[in-house]
Amino acid sequence: MLKLLSVTVLGLMLSAGVVAAQEGQPVQVDTNQVTGQNPATFQPTSKIYDFFNDTNKDNMKEQVEKFYAPSAVFEDPFTKVTGRDRLLSYYEGLYKELDSISFDIKTEFQSGDETVAIWTMTMKHKNLAGGEAVVVDGVSFVRFENDKAVYHRDYFDAGALLYEHVPILGSIVRWLKGKMAAE
């Protein structure tokens, strides 16, 4: 799904002249033209940034109620949750074993009530990677109504987040990814 989304976005950017492509050369993206932002000086100020970086175990309920509408839908590669109360339970479960988590929002695209945020998450979890930091790149799509998120979809590599850090399974997933990349 993410590949299809990426190819579609790349196609639109090529047709709009935002992306330059020459045969046999890597695609060059003019990030300033795409976002209107200079990546070197980009300072995220969105609700997504605030929610991702201000939420912790102690203020979880307050943050979830502030960010999400009561009937919000959340999806990621692992689950789909409907309703703010169920979403709160989901987040509480996720954060229960976390030692730390932070999001570096690289850039955001906003159109009306919809926002796309491109981010890098760094987290430490007691049961992953021996408690060492796990770093995963991802994208969030959030639709707002009346200043609350009604739909939130996260796209990221589930293998890089979880499967690669599970004993035995991790080495198999890394081997498969390497094999697929070589083809």
| For residue 129, pLDDT beyond 80 | no
Q: Does the model's pTM come out above 0.95?
A: no
What would the mean pLDDT of 97-111 be, rounded to a whole number? 87
- Tell me if 131 is assigned to some domain: yes
CATH at 95: 3.10.450.50
Q: Which distant-in-sequence residues (6+ apart) come within 8 Å of 136 by Cβ?
A: 120, 121, 123, 156, 157, 160, 161
**Is 135 in contact with 120 (CB distance < 8 Å)?**
yes
- Tell me if 29 is assigned to some domain: no
What would the mean pLDDT of 60-76 be, rounded to a whole number? 96
Domain residues for the domain of 84 are 41-156
- Tell me if 31 is assigned to some domain: no
- Taking the CA of residue 176 as centre, how many other CA atoms within 13 Å lie in the half-sphere pointing to its CB? 10
Q: What is the pLDDT of residues 29-50, one digit of tens each?
A: 444 444 444 444 445 557 888 8
Closest by Cα among 31, 15, 96, 87 to 58: 96
Q: Which two tokens stand for residue 61?
A: 């309920």
Residues of the chain with pLDDT > 70: what percent? 58
In the structure, what pLDDT confidence band is assigned to residue 5 with cuts at 50, 70 and 90?
Answer: very low
The DSSP 8-state label assigned to residue 174 in this structure reads H
Q: At 67, which helix (H) or strand (E)? A: helix 60-67
- Tell me if 8 is assigned to some domain: no
- Tell me if 99 is assigned to some domain: yes
Total number of domains in the chain: 1
Q: Which distant-in-sequence residues (6+ apart) come within 8 Å of 31 by Cβ?
A: 37, 38, 39, 107
- Tell me if 111 is assigned to some domain: yes
Distance between CA atoms of residues 160 and 13, nearest Å: 27
- Tell me if 134 is assigned to some domain: yes
